[in-house]
Amino acid sequence: MDNKLAAPLSTLQWVPREWLKPNDYNPNKVSKENLKLLTQSILTNGWTLPIVVRPDYTIIDGFHRWTVAGEDPLMSMLDGKVPIVVVKHSERSEDIYGTVTHNRARGTHLLEPMKAIVKELMGEGKSVEEIGKQLGMKPEEVFRLSDFSKEDFLDMMTKGVTGFSKAEYVTKI
């Protein structure tokens, strides 16, 4: 194995989150909904990807993991620490390349494979609520990917609901 390729993993360690600092060039932005999904992913799967930093603890990749680690429940569950690997680049341009290529290499999700995933999960009896929570989708998105009729989907959404509240007519007094 090429020592250069393995070098970052040999530096894997848990360090206080406050040691890290964001870089000043990251073009990647994530919505609040996706930050919630990232937190859910860490809670479900554990911490699977370390934050990539320079020797001075400037973040090359993992800014959003670092962000959610600063909020509860992760902050208290991790005792304020985050996993890092250190990458030593000789030029700032290499840090920038690292940030952008890490982000772009993650890719995007295609429609047909996502439909197959939702169909499989629903076929296993997973609820719309669970699928939505675990995949970061609103019920409408699960419906669009499910290939169920509107009526069948509404039946699934209301399964287990024993009654509805009585509608009231409210007027301004």
- The domain locations on the chain are 3-105, 111-158
CATH of domain 3-105: 3.90.1530.10
Going by C-beta distance under 8 Å and a sequence separation of 6 or more, which residues neighbour residue 56? none
Spatial contact of 157 and 127, defined as CB atoms under 8 Å apart: no
Whole-Å CA distances, 153 to 38, 111, 143, 144, 145: 27, 19, 7, 10, 11
73 burial level (CB within 10 Å; 0-12, 13-18, 19+): exposed
How many CB atoms are located within 10 Å of the residue 145 CB?
A: 21
What's the full length of the chain, in residues?
173
Starting at the earlier edge strand, list the strands of the sheet with 13-16: 13-16, 81-86, 51-53, 59-61
From CA 65, how far away is CA 115, in angstroms rounded?
27
155: tokens are 């039946």
Going by C-beta distance under 8 Å and a sequence separation of 6 or more, which residues neighbour residue 150? 143
Residue where the block lists tokens 């169909």? 119
From CA 150, how far away is CA 138, in angstroms rounded?
15
pLDDT for position 1: 63
Spatial contact of 12 and 81, defined as CB atoms under 8 Å apart: no
pLDDT for position 123: 85
pLDDT for position 156: 65
pLDDT for position 108: 66
SS3 144: helix
For the chain, residues with pLDDT lower than 70 are 1-2, 107-110, 149, 152-153, 156-173
Entry pTM? 0.71
Q: List the Cα angle 55/58/64 in 5-degree steps.
A: 130
pLDDT for position 170: 61
